[in-house]
Structure 1
Amino acid sequence: MNVANAEPAADGDGERPPSVRVEGRETVVVSAARTRSDDLPRATRTCTVECASGVRGTDEWAGVPVDALAVAADFPGETTHLHVAAADFAADVPIRPALGGILAFEREGDREDGAVGLPRFVADGVPGERLVKRVERLSAVALDAGEEPEVG
């Protein structure tokens, strides 16, 4: 299977599960089903997320390491930020802490809202407002010196 061109399979209802486009020099499409296959590595991270409301929670998240996605999508060497986008929100995350994160398709624990907001970008040391929920796209970007990273 060619990782750059793989599309997620339809589920039993004929609908495609949520998928995320990862854009560098190549485009990779990632879904929860692909995190359980052999073509992408799977990782688990324990991260504390502090929401804009001030609520903090430490959870175990499972998904694909961002550094593996960067390799699969062939992020250019001049990449300074990871642009994380949902339908209604986007944030630019400095590339170094972003590479230590994961694109999570699962959240462990007994919380009733365990699947709410997935897929989600999570990484330790990244402010909560940049840990985007319901991610649709990750893109390698090169911001110019003095250019403000997007959040909102």
Structure 2
Amino acid sequence: MQRRLEHEPTMTDHQQLVEALTSPIRIVGEERVTVSPPELADLPIRSREFEIVCDSGDRHTDRWQGVPVLDLLERASVPAETTHLLVESTDGYRVCIDVEAALEGLVAVARNGEPLTAVADYESRFVSAGTRGPRTAKDVWRIEPRSLSPGEDPDVYERFDAND
């Protein structure tokens, strides 16, 4: 029996990975677009390995499956001068990520082939290479491109929960 490559989920795998999604994702670019769970299911699912480094120093390397951030942004005509992405969770937690790092990322719906709802207490998570654990927003509901001036601190756009 031949195994499929992990970066090419089968149709059944694809359906299982997105069927747990209940919340749309809003992309606020030159246009405001809401991508519903059924629309997310129509987008390609990719698989990428990322190491998540927690503030405690613990490191976890997993294979994440999800929708590439670039595929989501293409739906809302992102301005060319975008330098950062503001990624917001349903609970108001926000992170401002350098666009180059963010474009390599995913809005993940699964980890190691299992839907996030089966292995965690959230249904989606922003993950990308080099992004520390506390900056990987869970239950993503909004992505907004930002154009920061040179020297402008991206932290002023962030909002963290004191319990995180």
TM-score with structure 2 setting the length: 0.72
Structure 1 unaligned regions, length at least 5: 1-15
The residue correspondences of 1:94-133 to structure 2 (distance < 5 A) are 94-108=98-112, 114-133=119-138
* Pair 1:42–1:28, CA change in 2 (3 A): farther
Match of 1:18 in 2: 23
Report the RMSD for the aligned CA atoms in angstroms: 2.3
Matched, 1:62 2:65: yes
Q: How many pairs align?
A: 135
Which secondary structure does the structure 2 equivalent of 1:69 belong to? Answer: helix
Match of 1:149 in 2: 154
* CA displacement at 1:128 relative to structure 2: 2.2
Q: Secondary structure, in 3 states, of the residue corresponding to 1:136? A: strand
Judged with a 3 Å threshold, the aligned counterparts in structure 2 of structure 1 residues 49 and 65 are, in CA distance, closer, same or farther, namely: same
Cα pair 1:42 1:64 within 8 Å, conserved = yes
Which residue of structure 2 lines up, in the alignment, with residue 12 of structure 1? none
Helix, strand or coil at the partner of 1:35: helix
Greater share of residues in helix? 2
Larger displacement relative to structure 2 (64-73 or 47-56):
47-56
Identity fraction in percent:
36
Q: Which moved further from structure 2: 137-146 or 22-31?
A: 22-31
Q: Which runs of 5+ in 2 are unaligned?
A: 1-20
Mapped partners of 1:24, 1:113: distance in 2: 32
